[in-house]
Every structure is written in structure tokens, then in C-alpha cells.
Structure 1
Amino acid sequence: MILWNFFCITEGKTIDTITYELIRSDRKTISLQVKPDGRVIVRAPQRLAKYRVVRFVKDHEDWILKQQKKLEDYRETRHVITDEERRDGVQKALKIFPERTAYFAARMGVNYGRITIREQKTRWGSCSSAGNLNFNWRLVLMPPEILDYVVVHELAHRKEMNHSSKFWAIVEQEMPDYQERKQRLKELGGQFI
């Protein structure tokens, strides 16, 4: 592994430094990757001249800086959950999810199996074919209408185990503004996952 610095120069002054890791292999093309921690990885063919690698990085300078800025902004807005918040959140979830699920199940005319509270990395909820429901405890950190949307979404799977138009009609019947809630979950979700 070799780290290289690429200096962006304007009127004789260095304005930015792009440090990148160059990985050479038997590949045929050159590629660029910005890792979640902001590191830049350049993968290049074994025999590609160094000046061509530098040119490639320079040609993609704006894109690299834009990606690094996005990642930095994301890290600043992301909520870091403490152990105390986790403990309290799980306890709150163990109380809230059974209440909200029972409420909406009665309104929607569906039944369900057991409710499990989890800490999933990429899911807010799920429904098994046996009717068991899983919910991500982190939903209790969001506004109640978002939590309710996920509960209704999973209960709708008790009637339709897919995301067809029939499924979304079931969700909409119970929650006419579900699309706004779904969008809000996308916007807020990245802060808590």
C-alpha cells in the first residue's frame, strides 16, 4: 500500500491536498473510490504510468471533494447513540411497540404473532410469514408518526406479503399520508442507523 498526495494548485498556491491510496493489480481499468471515512482509493493496472494516475485523480478532483464533503456533513448530523440511550430506548420500545401494534392491528383487522425488538443496521421492521414482527428500537428516537408508519407497514404485510399496489392500498387506507411519513423516515433514518 502506497499513499500519495495530489496537490491542487491555483496561481502557484496549494489550495487542497488529496491524499490517496494507490492499489495496483492485474485489472484493465482505473477506478476511484471514496470510503466512508473519507479515504480515497485509486485502483490501477500494474503498468499504468504514474503521471496517468495523477491526471485521473486531478480530473476527478471536484467529485472527490464533493464526496468527502457529503461524508463530513453526514458524520456531523448523525446522532451517536450512548449506552444509556440504548438501554432507555430498548425499554421504551418494549412498551410502545406492543401498544401501537395492538391498536393498529385491531383497526386493520389483522392478527400477528410475537413482537421482537432488535437493533438492525439496515431495517426498521419486518414481518415473517408466520406473522411475527420485528421492530428496530431506534424508531423510538424518532417522531411518533414515523414509528406508527412502520407498525402499519409491517401489519399490512399480514394481508399482502409483498410491496404490490394492493399492499400500498392497505397502508394508505389506514394512513392516507403514508408517503410523507415514508419520506420523513428516509430523511431522518440516516441519523440513527
Structure 2
Amino acid sequence: MDSVQDDSEKIADDAVFPISGASESRTVNPYLHPRANRKLELKQVEVAYLFQKARRRTIGFSVGADGLVVRAPQWVSMAEVDSALQIKGDWILRKLASSQDRELRQQQNALQWADQALIPYLGQSIRLVLDPTHSGAAQLRPLDEALDVVVAELRLGLPKLADIGQVRDAVQAWLMRQARDNFTECLDRFAQPLGVRWTKLTLTTAGTRWGSARSDGAIRLNWRLIHFRQPIIDYVVAHELSHLRVMDHSPRFWDTVRLVVPDYADMRKALREDSGPRWD
């Protein structure tokens, strides 16, 4: 029988993590992949998964936001695939249960677009204030005495009962401006000690990728990182800049990241466990 490979680490090492809002306004059941073409019972649990033939030497498994994906070499029989699935059954069911729990948390963390709603910003909560008397750009006002986890108010020049789309667009525009300023400062701060030069920053809304880097120095970062605390943002920026020195995820790459973010493993784990608020 062909050897079996868990593909999840390869995906995680490439900074491909579930991001809230990547599958907005739809219900996800990880036990039923939306493009499933095969079904199998694992430990008395029916799992519908996406099966693909691929140019590879092993049977590979990965569990993402949509569910289970199985890839196998062209010459492997379905009996061998089914056997491999049964062998990995406990691992697959744990991953699917974890994915389902994450989806439920995301639904509970769906952002609200109304006066007095809370928005996560740099790991803390800010309150939206719709103020029709406010003129000019959105303005962040720190609170003199922060109550609970609310540290500031974001004042928007909109009616109290403004359309959801208006509020969402205004908040997104403000967050993207903050993201560009924040990420640019981070890139400049880490580039020198890493001995690299970045050439361009592009903000993205990629569904599963927080960032990417090209050998020409172009960096792409998901603007929704601005929801997270600064050390996590620092890790992602350092991760992408480190690719300008080492384009793979070898031990030398992680040693490079460690030069500027010594606790990168903790930040990486935190990012994998928290996909951020849901943008519905």
C-alpha cells in the first residue's frame, strides 16, 4: 500500500490558515465538503470529502474550512485510499471536530454594523459611534477611562440608523488605512535587521492566506490582520520578509524569523487558533 502523508503542516507552514469572512454568508459543515465526490464512514461517522488524483508519491490528507481533501497518486486504487482513511480516521475526525468548533465561534463572532457595536482593533475592542454631526474622516477617540475591554470610540459621520452597507464600508476604509500605515512601519522596522529590502506593499482580502512574498521584494498582506494584537502582526510581517532571504520553510527560514521575532512559534500558534472576526 502507498505511504500516507498528513498535508496539514505543509499548508500551515505556508501561512494558509482559515480566515473569518473567507466564506461569508454561508453555513459550513466540515463533515460535508461542498465539492464532495466521495463518502466514507469513519468510526460510525459519515464523512463526505473531495478526492483528487494528483502527481505525487503519497496519499495526502488535509482538513480546511470546507472539510476533508484527499489527494492520491494516479496509480493508487480506491481500496488503498479507503484503507488509508480508516488508518487516519481518529486524526481526521479530530480535525473535522476542531474545524466545526471554529466555524461555530466565527458565527458567534460575526461583526455587527450599527451604532455602539464593538470592533476588534489591534487585539482590543473599539466602539462604533454613528454621529451625524461629525464632519470629516472617521476619527478614533481614546476613552479617558477604558471600560472593560473597550479602549476607544470610532466616530463616523453617519446617521444613527445608517444602512448596514454604509457602516461596513466606512469601517473597512478606516481599518485599511490603519493597516497600511501599521504594516509599512513593521516592514521598515524589520527589513534592516533582516538585511532585506521590500519594494511594494499590497493589501489583500485573500480567503486563506495572511501574507505572501515574491523574490522581487513585493509583499502582500491581508488587511484584516489589523484586528489582531501587534505581536501577531509583527510575526506575519517578519515571516514574509524572511522569505526574501529564504524562499522555503526550511530550518534556516525559521532561524531567520527568530532573529526578529524570538517567540514566533507562540504567535504562529495563536494565529492558527484565532481566525479573527467574521465579516458578514
TM-score range, shorter chain: 0.5 to 0.7
Paired position in structure 1 for 2:223: 137
Paired position in structure 1 for 2:252: 166
Tell me whether 1:93 sits opposite 2:125 in the alignment: no
**Structure 1 residues 69 and 112: alpha-carbon distance in aligned structure 2, compared to 1, 3 A threshold:** closer
Which has more helix, going by share of residues? 1
Instruction: Pick from 207, 229, 243 the counterpart of residue 157 of structure 1.
Output: 243
> Which aligned pairs between 1:62-77 and structure 2 lie closer than 5 A?
70=101, 71-77=103-109
TM-score normalized with structure 1 length: 0.62
**Structure 1 residues 127 and 67: alpha-carbon distance in aligned structure 2, compared to 1, 3 A threshold:** closer
Do the aligned partners of 2:106 and 2:278 also contact (CA within 8 Å) in 1?
no
Paired position in structure 1 for 2:127: none
Do the aligned partners of 1:149 and 1:182 also contact (CA within 8 Å) in 2?
yes
- For the residue of structure 1 that corresponds to 2:208, the secondary structure is coil
- CA distance in structure 2 between the aligned counterparts of 1:28 and 1:121, rounded to whole angstroms: 26
User: RMSD value over aligned CA atoms?
Assistant: 3.2
Tell me whether 1:189 sits opposite 2:275 in the alignment: yes
Structure 2 regions of 5+ residues with no counterpart?
Answer: 1-37, 50-64, 67-92, 114-167
> Which aligned pairs between 1:10-159 and structure 2 lie closer than 5 A?
32-33=47-48, 70=101, 71-79=103-111, 82-159=168-245
TM-score normalized with structure 2 length: 0.44
Q: State, as a whole percentage, how many aligned pairs show the same letter.
A: 32
- CA distance in structure 2 between the aligned counterparts of 1:189 and 1:92, rounded to whole angstroms: 19
Larger radius of gyration: 1
Do the aligned partners of 1:78 and 1:190 also contact (CA within 8 Å) in 2?
no
Paired position in structure 1 for 2:129: none
**Structure 1 residues 79 and 29: alpha-carbon distance in aligned structure 2, compared to 1, 3 A threshold:** same
Do the aligned partners of 1:115 and 1:134 also contact (CA within 8 Å) in 2?
yes
Do the aligned partners of 2:39 and 2:48 also contact (CA within 8 Å) in 1?
no
Shift of 1:138: 0.4
- CA distance in structure 1 between the aligned counterparts of 2:99 and 2:234, rounded to whole angstroms: 35
Shift of 1:75: 1.3
- For the residue of structure 2 that corresponds to 1:104, the secondary structure is helix
Do the aligned partners of 1:93 and 1:137 also contact (CA within 8 Å) in 2?
yes
**Aligned residues between the structures:** 140
- For the residue of structure 2 that corresponds to 1:146, the secondary structure is helix
Shift of 1:137: 0.4
- CA distance in structure 1 between the aligned counterparts of 2:111 and 2:182, rounded to whole angstroms: 21
Paired position in structure 1 for 2:123: none
- After superposition, what is the alpha-carbon deviation per residue over 1:1-51, rounded to whole angstroms, capped at 9, x for unaligned? xxxxxxxxxxxxxxxxxxxxxxxxxx89785449x89xxxxxxxxxxxxxx
